[in-house]
């Protein structure tokens, strides 16, 4: 059984606004779109369940009752253990299918900003293909706007659209040259 209050990092007497705020913060960390952990979907499902349970008054009441029962059962087991010694079996029910997370370590590894180097390391060919396609699109925009303007297909101010094409070409070239790609290694060989 989960303690939904611990999952959302809120006290048991938290208000509805506190629950919503805690859910938004936790969802930003564990959402599968920003989290690379293989269990991100499971964790996000648990966070959603915690949010839905604590917002509904009836479900929250039942959850609190279960927590109080579990706390009482643990306290009784500890009392028995202290009185009879360590040979007493702790007979509190635990569901073997439940999975428990160390939320603090999960938070540190789950949410990392992804930068260009990350995407380049994942698949350098696709990364470079993105820049090459941007350069091609920039060339196409520039060519069409300049050609169409000089052949009087459209008005003269239309030539300003070619600036967008030049920016795309420049940024694509900068992206390709900035990484250690095949083109970079070829340039290095010719310099020697």
Query: Pick the residue with more confidence: 62 or 106?
Result: 62
Would the pLDDT of 5 be above 80?
A: yes
Q: Where are the alpha helices (DSSP H) in the chain?
A: 4-8, 16-30, 40-55, 57-84, 103-110, 116-122, 124-150, 162-178, 182-191
User: What's the number of CA atoms in the CB half-sphere (13 Å) around residue 189?
Assistant: 6
Residues 145 and 130 grouped into a single domain:
yes
Is the same domain home to 139 and 85?
no
Q: Work out the pLDDT band at 111, boundaries 50, 70, 90.
A: low
End position of a domain, from candidates 110, 126, 159: 110
108 band by pLDDT with thresholds 50, 70 and 90: low
Q: Which of 41, 75, 110 is the last residue of a domain?
A: 110
Do 67 and 159 fall into the same domain? no
Same domain as 151, residue 79: no
Report the predicted TM-score, pTM, of the whole model to 2 decimal places.
0.42
Q: pLDDT averaged over the chain?
A: 78
What's the pLDDT at 136? 92
Residue 140 has pLDDT above 90, yes or no: yes
92 and 134 in one domain?
A: no
Are 98 and 144 within one domain?
no
The residue among 82 and 40 whose pLDDT is bigger is 40
Domain-ending residue, one of 110, 144, 159? 110
pLDDT at 10 over 60: yes
- The three-class DSSP label of residue 35 is strand
Length of the chain, in residues: 192
Can you say whether residue 115 is alpha, beta or left, with left for phi > 0 and alpha for psi between -120 and 50 degrees? beta
Looking at the fold, whether 46 and 139 belong to one and the same domain comes out as no
Rounded distance between C-alpha atoms, residue 159 and residue 154, angstroms: 9
* CA 142 – CA 137 distance, rounded (Å): 9
Residues 105 and 125 in one domain: no
Q: Kindly state whether residues 144 and 160 are assigned to the same domain.
A: yes
Q: Is 74 helix (H, G, I), strand (E, B) or coil?
A: helix
Q: Mapping DSSP to helix (H, G, I), strand (E, B) and coil, where does residue 111 land? A: strand
CATH at residue 58: 1.10.287.110
**Number of structural domains, the chain?**
2
Higher pLDDT, 107 or 58: 58
Residue 45, C-beta contacts closer than 8 angstroms, at least 6 positions apart: none
Q: Looking at residues 143-169, what average pLDDT do you find?
A: 88
pLDDT in tens, 31-73: 888 888 888 888 888 889 989 998 988 888 888 888 888 878 7
Tens of pLDDT, residue by residue over 15-32, are 999 999 999 998 888 888
Range of the domain at 153: 116-191
Both 94 and 44 in one domain: the answer is: yes
Name which residue leads in pLDDT, 22 or 82: 22
DSSP state of 99: -
Same domain, 106 and 123: no
Please answer whether residues 106 and 44 qualify as being in contact, where contact means their C-beta atoms are separated by less than 8 angstroms.
no
Residue 123 is encoded by which pair of tokens? Answer: 């698949």
In this structure, are 167 and 147 located in the same domain? yes
């Amino acid at each position: 059984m989960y303690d939904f209050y611990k999952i959302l990092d809120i006290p048991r007497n938290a208000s509805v606004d506190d629950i919503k705020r805690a859910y938004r913060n936790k969802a930003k960390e564990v959402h599968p779109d920003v989290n690379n952990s293989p269990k991100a979907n499971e964790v996000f499902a648990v966070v959603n369940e915690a949010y839905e349970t604590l917002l509904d008054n009836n479900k929250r009441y039942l959850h609190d009752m279960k927590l109080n029962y579990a706390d009482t059962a643990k306290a009784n087991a500890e009392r028995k253990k202290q009185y009879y010694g360590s040979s007493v079996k702790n007979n509190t029910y635990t569901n073997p299918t439940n999975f428990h997370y160390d939320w603090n370590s999960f938070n540190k590894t789950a949410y990392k900003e992804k930068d260009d180097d990350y995407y380049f390391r994942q698949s350098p060919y696709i990364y470079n293909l993105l820049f090459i396609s941007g350069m091609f699109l920039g060339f196409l925009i520039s060519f069409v706007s300049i050609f169409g303007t000089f052949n009087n297909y459209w008005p003269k101010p239309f030539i300003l659209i070619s600036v967008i094409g030049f920016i795309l070409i420049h940024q694509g070239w900068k992206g390709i040259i900035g990484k250690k790609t095949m083109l970079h290694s070829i340039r290095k060989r010719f310099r020697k």
